[in-house]
């Protein structure tokens, strides 16, 4: 039950439960990656098992695909689905215009492809992810392994002319080995502290040979659902220009809280 959850997990669960209300029977739904998105997948699994919801999911990572299959959400590839009605995903940061930094879980490339192949993107978050300006969270970029150190040097050189407060970069590691994405690529984390012109930065980074994609999600997100541990949620809709404050029922069945590996 939710009483056994930490405050941060309660906030994530509340946001996820509210976000899945956007899902309707027959939809093709993009399933995000990360700890917050895992709650969303579990909520959908319960709706499929206990509520008879019929949906088709497209996962943004092998981890999400495995979890979806474990909780009973049918999965197909994006090529099979072709286009999606909705994507629900978490975020590492979001600003007042609902621009995002994503990629803390290392799935930014598939996440961005899936999100941009959707009619709508709903992001789930807790209050800690809200920032005035993006950049406090390190910006991930996915790079191919060949010549990655040259790519890194080109990235660092390009940052000299960018409106950022820091220019340190680091190769993401997994234990003692470089972290590998589902595509076998590497992740460079850019410790920028603050990004003054995210659109310019995104464009410049993606022009560098060896850079596959960056973690700036600009003009992609439509709705952010912010959860709180007390069961309250804030729903910000950028298209309608609305901000609604609601409450989510925290009384849940035991099925959702079965220990399933994220």
Distance, CA of 57 to CA of 35 (rounded, Å):
18
Task: Give me the catalytic one of 46, 111, 142, 213.
Answer: 111
Q: How many CA atoms lie within 13 A of 243 on its CB side?
A: 5
Tokens matching residue 117: 């192949």
Residue 16 in contact with residue 45, Cβ under 8 Å? no
Name the percent of the chain in helix, strand, coil, to the closest 5: 35, 25, 40
Count of CB atoms situated within 10 Å of the CB of 161: 9
Count of CB atoms situated within 10 Å of the CB of 157: 11
Tokens matching residue 168: 């340190």
> Nearest CA to 42 among 77, 15, 24?
15
Query: Would residue 111 show up in a list of annotated catalytic residues for this protein?
Result: yes
CA 254, distance to chain mean position in Å, is 26
Active site residues: 111
């Amino acid at each position: 039950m939710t009483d056994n959850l930490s405050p941060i997990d309660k906030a994530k669960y509340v946001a996820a439960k509210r976000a899945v209300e956007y899902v309707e029977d027959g939809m093709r739904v993009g399933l995000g990656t990360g700890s917050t998105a895992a709650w969303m997948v579990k909520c959908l699994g319960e709706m499929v098992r206990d509520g008879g919801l019929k949906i088709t999911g497209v996962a943004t990572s092998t981890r999400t695909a495995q979890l979806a299959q474990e909780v009973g959400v049918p999965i197909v590839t994006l090529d099979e689905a072709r286009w999606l009605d909705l994507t629900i995903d978490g975020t590492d940061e979001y600003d007042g215009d609902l621009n995002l930094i994503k990629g803390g879980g290392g799935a930014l490339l598939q996440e961005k492809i899936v999100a941009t192949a959707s009619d709508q993107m709903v992001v789930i978050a807790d209050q800690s992810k809200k920032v005035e300006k993006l950049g406090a969270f390190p910006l991930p970029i996915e790079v191919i392994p060949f010549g990655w150190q040259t790519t890194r040097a080109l990235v660092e050189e390009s940052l000299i002319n960018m409106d950022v407060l820091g220019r340190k970069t680091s190769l993401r590691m997994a234990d003692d080995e470089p972290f590998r994405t589902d595509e076998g690529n590497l992740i460079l984390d850019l410790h920028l502290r603050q990004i003054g012109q995210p659109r310019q930065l995104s464009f410049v980074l993606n022009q560098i040979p060896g850079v596959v994609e960056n973690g700036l999600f600009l003009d992609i997100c439509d709705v952010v659902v912010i959860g709180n541990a007390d069961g309250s949620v804030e729903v910000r809709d950028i298209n309608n220009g609305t901000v609604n404050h609601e409450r989510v029922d925290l009384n849940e069945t035991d099925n959702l809280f079965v220990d399933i590996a994220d």
